[in-house]
Amino acid sequence: MTFPSLSIIGERVNPGYASSKKLIEARDVAGLQELARVQAAKGAVLINVNLGCEVERDPSFMTDMVKALQDATPVPLAFDSPSAAVQEACLKVYDPAKSGGRKPFVNSAAETRWEVMSLRKDFDFGVLLMASERLEDGNHIPNRSGTEVHATAQRLVDRIRCQHPSMPLGDIIIDVSLGPMASDTENLTRMAVDAVRLIGADPTLRGTHMSVGLSNLGIMLPKKEVAGLPIGLALECAFLTEAVPLGLDFALATAGRAYQTLPADHPALVAFRECIAAEGFDSLRRLRKLYAA
């Protein structure tokens, strides 16, 4: 990987992957432990634990997996659930000693889901903050520009500073959100790049981290290659080539994947830049030219 400043949050314990879904549905603890070990061996600094709907059917499955994954690897865990109750249960069973004293992360809190931060009174944890959505006049509103994401990130971090002053800024990872380019008619990929630029340049947010769900970018793309790279990987690399120099330093992604800085004339980077500069369906048309070539 040619992005030494980029830390990977291992994403594979997730029913979004067909092979992982089979393991989760079968309650194959040994198989899920091996997934965690492989991600750790390939450099993941956190293992994200997302068990999907199985947790709704049986919340104890999540806590059992927290204990099992800690037995498999010393890499700390991130608990991926919108439920404050599930997060609390995970925090109760997580053993920092098994992770070399390193704390777990809650994935995630947002203006629309702030109740999980009340757990700070009893537990020490880091947090992923979802800055892609905001609460306005009691309404849940998705952000649609980098400026809106940046403003939301400022409010979230200010709220932590006010309510939890002992929490180090280094325990905060701001998720700016990244979606599939293949369906992006709302310029949300541009929003992510702009948000990274604004947050990275903001002295009031210095010391915090930034992340995206990198694998979302290539969803629904055809099985094509661009200059020797699978198109999904090529566009992920294009995004990283743009975003890492602006301050992106974490990604929820596949540990060990061949992420690399692309040269300025690489067709995927040229297409990426033209896509995020275009509007609406013009962006999709430019993307199609890349994989139709």
> Residue 248 is part of a domain; what is its CATH number?
3.20.20.20
Record the pTM: 0.97
Distance, in Å, from the CA atom of 16 to the CA atom of 23, rounded to the nearest integer, reads 12
Q: Is residue 180 part of a domain?
A: yes
Domain that holds residue 35: 7-292
CB count in 10 Å sphere of residue 212: 27
Q: What is the 3-state secondary structure (H, E, C) of the chain?
A: CCCCCCEEEEEEECCCCHHHHHHHHCCCHHHHHHHHHHHHHCCCCEEEECCCHHHHHCHHHHHHHHHHHHHHCCCCEEEECCCHHHHHHHHHHCCHHHHCCCCCEEEEEECCECHHHHHHHCCCCEEEEECCEEEECCEEEECCCHHHHHHHHHHHHHHHHHHCCCCCHHHEEEECCCCCHHHCCCCHHHHHHHHHHHHHCCHHHECEEEECEHHHHHCCCCCCEECCEEHHHHHHHHHHHHHHHHCCCEEEECCCCCCCCCCCCCHHHHHHHHHHHCCHHHHHHHHHHHHHC
Question: What is the total count of domains within the chain?
Answer: 1
Q: Residue 1: what pLDDT?
A: 65
Tokens representing 250 are 């974490």
Q: Residue 57: what pLDDT?
A: 87
Q: Residue 293: what pLDDT?
A: 77
pLDDT, one tens digit for every residue, the chain (293 residues): 689 999 999 999 999 999 999 999 999 999 999 999 999 999 999 999 999 999 988 999 999 999 999 999 999 999 999 999 999 999 999 999 999 999 999 999 999 999 999 999 999 999 999 999 999 999 999 999 999 999 999 999 999 999 999 999 999 999 999 999 999 999 999 999 999 999 999 999 999 999 999 999 999 999 999 999 999 999 999 999 999 999 999 999 999 999 999 999 999 999 999 999 999 999 999 999 999 87
Distance, in Å, from the CA atom of 119 to the CA atom of 47, rounded to the nearest integer, reads 21
Q: Is residue 101 part of a domain?
A: yes
Say which residues have a Cβ less than 8 Å from residue 7's Cβ, sequence separation at least 6. Answer: 45, 46, 209, 249, 250, 251
Q: Is residue 1 part of a domain?
A: no
Q: Is the dihedral of CA 143, 113, 124, 44 positive or negative?
A: negative
Distance, in Å, from the CA atom of 181 to the CA atom of 188, rounded to the nearest integer, reads 8
Q: Is residue 42 part of a domain?
A: yes
> CA end-to-end span of the chain, whole Å?
27
Q: In whole angstroms, how far apart are CA 44 and each of 5, 38, 228?
A: 13, 9, 25
Q: Is residue 259 part of a domain?
A: yes
Q: Is residue 2 part of a domain?
A: no
Tokens representing 23 are 């393991």
Q: Residue 223: what pLDDT?
A: 93
Distance, in Å, from the CA atom of 198 to the CA atom of 90, rounded to the nearest integer, reads 34
Q: Is residue 181 part of a domain?
A: yes
Q: Is residue 171 part of a domain?
A: yes
Tokens representing 162 are 């006010």
CB count in 10 Å sphere of residue 90: 28
Output phi, psi for 235, to 5 deg: -75, -35
Nearest C-alpha neighbor of 254 from the set 33, 40, 23, 26 = 40
